[in-house]
Chain A
Amino acid sequence: EVQLVESGGGLVQPGGSLRLSCSASGITFSTYWMHWVRQAPGKGLVWVTRINGDGKSTNYADSVKGRFTISRDNAKNTLYLQMNSLRAEDTAVYYCAGEFSPGSYYPPAGYFDPWGQGTLVTVSS
């Protein structure tokens, strides 16, 4: 069974830090580019960041650039999101999502599947 399971969410004060994890099973993890997508309470989906299969290439939304860092450990089938200098507007459910990439000679799929169940991050004093 394909499964992505996020953890690490919680309540943090403005300016604080948090590290999210996303553990994958049922997939060949290294063949997936991985993304974080967030959803503020009652709002829509917002793409945050992505990392390629070998962890050497990353992209970030402008709103988190310089504050968030995405990384992965393929030996542990785990994706991470280090979030620093957190702001109230970072409050959201954070989802990890996979994008299949068949190999170096082919582009990644371009769509998000599978998704984790999400973990809630609340930034508040």
Chain B
Amino acid sequence: DIQMTQSPSSLSASVGDRVTITCRASQTISRNLNWYQQKPGRAPNLLIYTTSSLQSGVPSRFSGSGSGTDFALTIRSLQPEDFATYYCQQSYTTPWTFGQGTKVEIK
């Protein structure tokens, strides 16, 4: 199975900060990498697909980059509604696997 490792596991940031979360795959996954946001008690919500494509309705302050094994999710200017847990997920091969999550908390 492909292992997905996110860094950091948690971070504290202030409104307006630029935040970057990284995701590393244990083998190359081309650009088959997606990002989800999950708020407590809610289902995950797709933010970014295929590394850098913004899902419809997602604010443009979210962006994704990378290829091969190293990927990143960047939030350009953190807003109050962005405090949540973020997961990366590879869709290169089954079993689909997720990163362990990065919790973004208010500083």
Contacts and interface: CB of A to CB of B under 8 A. Distances in A.
A109 B49 contact: yes
Contacts of B89: 45, 111-112
Interface residues of A, number: 20
Contacts of B98: 44-47
Contact of A116 (B43, B45, B91): B43
Interface in A100-125: 109-113, 115-118
Contacts, number: 54
Contact of A117 (B43, B96, B97, B100): B43
Nearest to B4: A44
Contact of B46 (A46, A111, A117, A118): A111
B87 A118 contact: no
B50 interface: yes
Given A110-B49, A110-B50, 11 more contacts: A44-B98, A44-B99, A45-B36, A45-B87, A45-B98, A50-B94, A59-B95, A111-B89, A112-B89, A113-B46, A115-B45
